[in-house]
Amino acid sequence: MSDPLHKDQDLRADDGPIEESQKTSETPLLNVSELRSGYGPIEVLKGISLHVNAGEIVTVIGANGAGKTTTLMTVSGCVKIRGGDITFDGRSLTGIPAHEIVKLGMAQSPEGRKIFPRLTVLENLQMGAFTVRDQVRVREDIEKAYHYFPILKDRQKQLGGTLSGGEQQMLAIARALMIRPKLLLLDEPSLGLAPMIVLKIFEVIRELNREGMSVLLVEQNARLALKIANRGYVMETGSITATAPAQELLNDPRIQAAYLGE
């Protein structure tokens, strides 16, 4: 897929993430320290450390198989921590199941979307609010989801499995927003989508960030991810090999050669 923001299109300076000077929290919202995890006998993450401050967009870039998805799955509680620690909003997540982590204010839009194909768009959104008891708030948040992605309102009675790939990705993100997360985890939101749909999704990510939401973004389109992020991490074979402000990574010849097609 071509990069929709490369050469012919670009982000305006006032469309970027919240500046560092606008953040007030000194303690990271998410802190990952010497994290190890994996599947069966295979250790995928080999002691990685990263953090996300309140109000930041932080991206993790790297080749396929580097461990990016495993990072998000471990942070969200879907893969067991084998070593190190994860703290979220000042609380260790070691031993906390995934559904309890959601209640703490972390939501994930997973790779491959994983919507409920036999439920309608509306029912998918309602499932995203499974921890919320206030039905007035649920209705408000459904309308907010339709504000971000108006096409979903038009499709609200349609089964999720009949949506286009782009519409399913919008639904996956909207479903994650239903708990009003403090931290939104996004895994490959542009994968396989047409450039105009990608632009729409990343416009929503910027809008969410301007409203104060923190985002940890895994994205195969490294250029696009770095254009909207505050900071970035480069991952190779389960290890963090570089970290810097996003603009520095964009301008780094080594990063350009390895991940940006230059």
Identity of the amino acid at 212: G
Token look-up 């309608």 returns 120
Which fold would CATH assign to domain 27-105+181-262? Answer: Rossmann fold (3.40.50)
Tokens (6 digits) for 230: 């505050």
- Does residue 150 or residue 113 have the better pLDDT? 150
> How far is C-alpha 39 from the chain's CA centre?
22
Answer whether 183's CB lies under 8 Å from 215's CB.
yes
Instruction: Please list, in sequence order, all residues whose beta carbon lies within 8 angstroms of the beta carbon of residue 228, skipping any fewer than 6 positions away.
Output: 11, 15, 16, 17, 57, 59, 202, 205, 206, 209, 217, 246
> How far is C-alpha 146 from the chain's CA centre?
19
Query: What is this structure's pTM?
Result: 0.88
Tokens (6 digits) for 76: 């969200």
pLDDT of res. 13: 36
pLDDT of res. 9: 44
* Interval 19-61: pLDDT, tens: 543 444 479 999 999 999 999 999 999 999 999 999 999 999 9
Interior/surface letters 188-198, b for 16+ CB within 10 angstroms, e for the rest: bbbbebebebb
CA distance linking residue 2 with residue 109, whole number of Å: 23
- pLDDT reading at 11 higher than 80: no
pLDDT of res. 262: 54
Residue boundaries of the structural domains of the chain: 27-105+181-262, 113-179
* Interval 105-141: pLDDT, tens: 999 999 888 999 999 999 999 999 988 889 999 999 9
- Nearest-Å Rg of the Cα atoms of the chain is 18
